[in-house]
Copies of this chain bind each other. A is one copy, B any other.
């Protein structure tokens, strides 16, 4: 179970680290419209092919992107990771945060009622 948690933790690390770069988020946005080659991805960013390849590799390691080399072209598409773990984690955290806020609100309302 501890090993499972560690693997899951490592996956979340990779997901959030992959999402922390605007070019990588842009690549995911673009792939949301359909598969693209490395050079098609590079065009709107005005970036070198090597630069885009590096970003795609980070996304591939985080399972957010899948690539296939067909002939001399590397085709990229959205990967198997649905970001569900990341969303679950954030949602859990937000619920805690809102519970805290509700608690504070109740505290101040009670205090106001006493005055």
Contact = CB atoms under 8 A, between A and B. Distances in A.
A78 interface: yes
A13 B22 contact: yes
A15 to B, nearest CB: 8
B90 A32 contact: no
Interface stretch (A40-48, A93-101, A106-114): A93-101
Contact of A21 (B13, B15, B28, B82): B13
A96 B25 contact: no
A88 to B, nearest CB: 11
A63 to B, nearest CB: 12
A90 B97 contact: no
25 contacts: A12-B19, A12-B25, A13-B21, A13-B22, A15-B20, A16-B16, A16-B19, A16-B20, A17-B17, A17-B20, A19-B90, A25-B89, A25-B93, A28-B93, A29-B93, A29-B96, A32-B96, A32-B97, A32-B99, A34-B100, A78-B96, A82-B94, A82-B97, A86-B90, A87-B94
